[in-house]
Structures are given as structure tokens and as C-alpha cells.
Amino acid sequence: QLAVRRSELIAWHAERALTTAVALLVIAGLCGSLLGLRWVARPVQKLAEKASRMGKGDFEGPLALDTKDEFELLADTLNEASRELAAARERLESETRARLDALDQVRRADRLVSVGRIAAGLAHELGTPIHVVSERAKMARQGEVEPADMPRTLDIIIEQTARIAGTIRQVLDLARQQPPNRSTVNLRLLLDSTRELLTPLAQKKAIQIEIEAPEHAPALLDASQIRQVVMNLVMNAIHAMDRPGTILLALREADGGRTWLLEVQDQGSGIAPENLSRIFEPFFTTKPVGEGTGLGLSIAAGIVQEHGGTIQVSSEPGQGSKFSVRLPRGSREEAAT
């Protein structure tokens, strides 16, 4: 019996010891969690929040940790990085403003140069016909024109006045470039109609106008403006050819079907290398005085740019010239006929 009693007492003490150990473990775990929350979780959360703000561009409000450990060192490092990033952003913004100001000044200067160039060209282009009209009118007014010569004098005045009006109209067209009124157009039909209009003029010089293009070439564009571009390029090609030959209008898809590439190639005298970079400038022309204003290609280039396209020229003296026009096709659904 004593042995049984002793065994029960040992078991009871063992159970008490086990219960006490479990309780101590639970208390230790709770204390560890509280200490971890105080010394680890909260500093880590604050560090993460600071890093997140920095990632979004918010460099204000330095992080203060008084933990006297690695967390405080990391917070100081983040604060220093934040200050450096804020200073770098301020320098970048300052440099960007300076670049924009400089670019704006360059654009203003470029506009002034363009205005001066246009004004000089306009004065040169209008000076001659105005002088002719003035002198002829003076001669008629002072009785220096024979009665038989009066009709011819009046015809000259009318011709020169029409030339002045035409030049002013072209300048206005260049200055008041209208946004494209887009609709679905078959470029092949547009090329055919342009050839029909200009064939009589080309035949006077024994020039043939040929077209290489698919029968169905849909694009979303302003038909009247693009027709003006094509007519201008073909007219220039006709004027550039002083002997019989062929002008080729070639149209094909480019850029994976996203654009149409139109090439107008002549067999004329070509363009001198020093003139290639100026060919699209207003009033620049190599034609004799009175035969061209030098505005046609400038207007054509403006129209193509308004359509989101590009126009380029390649030429060699004696080998003819080729103008290449790229025009966005528009979405296949929009451009479908």
C-alpha cells in the first residue's frame, strides 16, 4: 500500500511539473510575440511604408526609429537615399525646365527665320508683276501706248494681276492648312483620275504617264488634298522633263500593310545635291522667274504631314527624281470599301 501511495504521489508531481512547463512555454511564446511585435514587426512595417512612399515619389517625412540596432541604421540609410532622390528629382526638373525654355527659344527663332524667308520670297515673287502692272498703267495713263497696242497692254496687266492673285492664294493655302476631312478612298481610282486630267499636258511634251497599282487600294484620307499632292508631284515631273519619256506612279503596301507607299518617278534632269535639302522650303524653286512660286511642294509636304505621313525625295543630276509618299492606311475596317 505504501508503494502504491508513493507511485501516485510521483505521478501527481510529474503531472504538476508538466502542466507548469506547458504554462511557462505558453507565457514565453506570448512574451516573445509581444516583444517581436514591439522590436521587429513594427520597425519592419515602418520601413516598408517608407520604402513604399519612396517608390511612389514621396520623399518627404524622414523615418525616425529609436531602436539602437540594425533597424535604426536601415532607417537612416533610407532617409539619406530619400534626400538624395529628392535632390536628384529637383535637379532633373530644373534641367527639364531649362531644356524646354531653350527649345521654345529655338522654335521662336525658327519661326522668325521661316517668316523672314516667306516674306523675302513673297516680296521677290510679287515685286516683278507689281512693277510690270505699275509701269504699264503709267504708260497707258500718260498716253505712251499706241491705240493699237492698248489691248495687249491690258492683257499684260490682267495676266500679271492674275499671277499676283495666284501667289497670294497659294500663300494663304500654305498658312491655312485645313485638317483632313477623311473618308474611305480607293487610291487607284484617285491616280487614274489624276492621270486623265494631266495627260493632255504631258502629251504636248510626248510624255507618257504610267500607273502600277492594285485595283483596290483603300485608305482613310482626304481625297481632294491627296489629289492636290499627286497633281503637284506629276506636274513637277512634267516640267522637269525636256524630252519624251515616262512618268511612273507606283503604289504598293508597306510596313506590313499599315501604310501605302506612293512613288512618283520621272526621267527628267534631276535635282542638284545642294538643292535636295531645300526642295520643300516655301518659295524655293529652280524654275525660271515667272514659271513657279516654289510653294507647291511646301503645300504638298504640309498635307502629307497632316495625314500623319512622310514625303521624301531622291535624285541625281541627269538621272531623274523620285518622290516617295507614305500615307497611313487607317484600320482595315475603316478603310474597307
pLDDT for residue 6 = 66
User: For the chain, what is the total number of helices (H) and then of strands (E)?
Assistant: 9, 7
pLDDT for residue 334 = 47
Average pLDDT over residues 82-108: 77
pLDDT for residue 8 = 67
pLDDT for residue 337 = 45
Per-residue pLDDT tens over the stretch 289-337: 445 556 778 888 888 988 999 999 999 888 899 999 999 987 544 444 4
Average pLDDT over residues 12-32: 65
Average pLDDT over residues 268-285: 80
Per-residue pLDDT tens over the stretch 64-90: 776 666 767 777 787 787 888 888 888
pLDDT for residue 27 = 66
pLDDT for residue 260 = 96
CB-count burial class (<10 Å; 0-12, 13-18, 19+) for 307 = buried
Average pLDDT over residues 164-178: 67
Per-residue pLDDT tens over the stretch 134-150: 888 888 888 887 888 88
Average pLDDT over residues 111-133: 66
Parallel, antiparallel, or unpaired for β 207-212 and 245-254? parallel
Average pLDDT over residues 252-264: 92
Three cell numbers, residue 6: 508513493
Give the residue, 235 or 24, on which the prediction is more confident.
235
Three cell numbers, residue 216: 483596290
Whether 322 contacts 252, CB under 8 Å: no
pLDDT for residue 117 = 59
CB-count burial class (<10 Å; 0-12, 13-18, 19+) for 202 = buried
| pLDDT range class, residue 247, cuts 50, 70, 90 | very high
CB crowding 100-119: b at 16 or more within 10 Å, else e: eeeeeeeeeeeeeeeeeebe
Whether 263 contacts 278, CB under 8 Å: no
pTM strictly above 0.75: no
Give the residue, 104 or 180, on which the prediction is more confident.
180
DSSP 8-state symbol, 297: H
Per-residue pLDDT at 284 exceeds 70? no
Give the residue, 329 or 117, on which the prediction is more confident.
329
Question: How confident is the prediction for the chain on average, in pLDDT?
Answer: 78
CA distance 272 to 289: 18
Per-residue pLDDT at 223 exceeds 60? yes
